[in-house]
Chains A and B, each alone.
Chain A
Amino acid sequence: MRDNNKTILIDKYITGKLEDTELWEFKIEIEKNAAFAREVKLRKEMYDAIGDDKKMELLKTLNNLKVRKQKRIFNINIYSRQVQSIAASLIVLMIVGAGLLSNYSDNNKNFNYNIYTENFVDEGSLISTRSDVKSDNSLVESGIRMYDNKQYAEAISLLDANPENVTARLYSGLAYMKLELFDNAEKQFIYIIDHKDNIFIDQAEWNLGLSYLANNKTDQATSVFTKIASENGAYSTKASVIIKKLKNN
């Protein structure tokens, strides 16, 4: 059975669309071929999970809680000990100085940040597979490996040593996003977009928009998402949803 045919038959079986004869043959194949039976079972379970929109959304909500919790722990670690007293003084000054006006800005910031966390997907590990891009630069390849191992700071130090390499720029941008250093991430994505002659422009635009959001640069983010939405590419539906949310806020 060719891969494509097999995939179609399994899909038809799972969705109850096999004709009588096909169904009979399919069931015989399941009976005599344990590997095939496992594949069908796995596919069915995957479809059940992925097709359950509410559950997928619930998992996303739970994941966001986890991300926010990790971020809080990270922040607590950064601001411990000697920085703590300075930070406390600054916070008091900021509260007194900014007063009620800050409420609006904070709400807005949280709103934007939430949209960012809902939409940011780590596509890093797929980029090289998807585009068949191989780097002839071992530093870049080591940087990508570091990124895949979640050693983001180390990855950046290797990737940023290759400013001419767009793959390195993209991974570096994603690594900066992981570290929540959005100003730096923006620079990398802008370079890729301005470079024009590469296949990462859609990812760069999408992640630039998200970085702007996370950085509370609502106007710039809106402008980027409007452009993406108008181009009917892979991210256009998601961009339209974001624009709608930003308008309704």
Chain B
Amino acid sequence: MQQYTTQEILNGILENNSVIVQFIYDRYFNDIRRFIDKFGGSSDDAMDVFQDGIIVIYEQMKNGEAKKIKNFNNYFFSVCKFKWFNTIRDEKYAEITQIEVEDILPKFEFDRISDSVSEILEKERRVKIYFKSFMELPSICQKMIRFVAYGWAIEDIAAEMEFTVAYTYRKRQNCLNKLTELVEQRLNENNNSSHER
């Protein structure tokens, strides 16, 4: 298997290089799956944790915090372990609540990771919901909301999409309403399910 340096992997994540992402998956996913399995999770849980781990690193790279990551292997595992510990703690997995931090990560390592990634993980929980909801919109709405998010003026959006300005106003409103509705529905489901557990 082709090997990459930590820096190459980090840049690959930042640039969404699919070869690097596939490499990370091939090289690390089975280890993460085994770890999650040992601590009561499923293969799907492992995939979620893997995805969150990658996104955390993307965010840290984007925020110029790359120097925190000296060794990708160690850091990525620590982030994934931290994420899983948080998942089982927050969602109160009944049968595995007795797991202590020290079973998963040394305390000092846990504290170090916690400081830098807790906030990102909480935000990413919501970002995943935005992404999922956005991807469910018809392509025309996706395109329009993307332009709105770029900060384009309504007249420019109308010109780009070859709509009238009046129609673009209405369509934007409909698309945003639909997106907000889907997001709020999912956020509520998410909150309810954490409370029920």
B66 at the interface (CB under 8 A from A): no
Interface of A is mostly: helix
Interface of B is mostly: helix
With A3-B173, A7-B176, A51-B149 already in contact, the answer to whether A125 and B130 are too (CB < 8 A) is no
Are A58 and B151 within 8 A (Cβ)?
no
Which residue of chain A lies nearest to B17 when distances are taken between CB atoms in the complex? A61
Query: Interface size on A (CB < 8 Å)?
Result: 42
Within A126-143, the residues touching B (CB, 8 Å) are 126, 129-130
How many whole Å from B83's CB to the nearest CB in chain A?
14
Give the contact stretch, choosing among B86-94, B103-111, B134-142. Answer: B134-142
Q: How far is the CA of A4 from the CA of B171 in the complex (A)?
A: 11
How many whole Å from B22's CB to the nearest CB in chain A?
7
Complex partner residue of B130 from A4, A45, A66, CB under 8 angstroms: A45
A179 at the interface (CB under 8 A from B): no
B150 at the interface (CB under 8 A from A): yes
Q: How far is the CA of A16 from the CA of B54 in the complex (A)?
A: 31
Are A50 and B146 within 8 A (Cβ)?
yes
With A42-B180, A50-B145, A123-B138 already in contact, the answer to whether A61 and B131 are too (CB < 8 A) is no
| Chain A residues near B15 (CB-CB < 8 A) | 54
Within A106-149, the residues touching B (CB, 8 Å) are 121-123, 125-126, 129-130
Within A25-69, the residues touching B (CB, 8 Å) are 42-43, 45-51, 54-59, 61-62, 65-66, 69
| Chain B residues near A249 (CB-CB < 8 A) | none
B36 at the interface (CB under 8 A from A): no
Are B139 and A235 within 8 A (Cβ)?
yes
Which residue of chain A lies nearest to B184 when distances are taken between CB atoms in the complex? A42
How many whole Å from B29's CB to the nearest CB in chain A?
8
Complex partner residue of B13 from A17, A58, A235, CB under 8 angstroms: A58
A21 at the interface (CB under 8 A from B): no
| Chain A residues near B138 (CB-CB < 8 A) | 123, 126, 130, 234
Which residue of chain A lies nearest to B20 when distances are taken between CB atoms in the complex? A61
Q: How far is the CA of A117 from the CA of B179 in the complex (A)?
A: 22
Which residue of chain B lies nearest to A233 when distances are taken between CB atoms in the complex? B140
B75 at the interface (CB under 8 A from A): no
Which residue of chain B lies nearest to A56 when distances are taken between CB atoms in the complex? B131
Are A62 and B54 within 8 A (Cβ)?
yes
Query: Interface size on B (CB < 8 Å)?
Result: 49
Are A51 and B150 within 8 A (Cβ)?
yes
With A45-B127, A55-B58 already in contact, the answer to whether A65 and B16 are too (CB < 8 A) is no
Are A62 and B51 within 8 A (Cβ)?
yes
Within B20-48, the residues touching A (CB, 8 Å) are 21-22, 25, 43, 47
Are A7 and B130 within 8 A (Cβ)?
no
Which residue of chain A lies nearest to B135 when distances are taken between CB atoms in the complex? A121
B68 at the interface (CB under 8 A from A): no
A238 at the interface (CB under 8 A from B): yes
Residue of A3, A126, A232 most packed against chain B (CB within 10 A) = A126
| Chain A residues near B54 (CB-CB < 8 A) | 58, 62
Are B58 and A234 within 8 A (Cβ)?
no
B196 at the interface (CB under 8 A from A): no
Are B130 and A49 within 8 A (Cβ)?
yes
Which residue of chain B lies nearest to A44 when distances are taken between CB atoms in the complex? B149
Residue of A55, A129, A235 most packed against chain B (CB within 10 A) = A55
Provide 16 A-B residue pairs closer than 8 Å at the C-beta atoms, listed in order of the A residue: A4-B170, A17-B151, A47-B149, A50-B130, A51-B146, A54-B58, A55-B55, A59-B51, A73-B43, A121-B136, A121-B139, A123-B136, A126-B136, A126-B137, A126-B178, A234-B140
Question: 8 tightest A-B contacts by CB?
Answer: A51-B149, A15-B151, A47-B149, A234-B140, A58-B16, A50-B149, A57-B16, A62-B51
Chain A residues with a Cβ under 8 A of chain B: 3-4, 7-8, 11, 14-17, 42-43, 45-51, 54-59, 61-62, 65-66, 69, 73, 121-123, 125-126, 129-130, 232, 234-235, 237-238
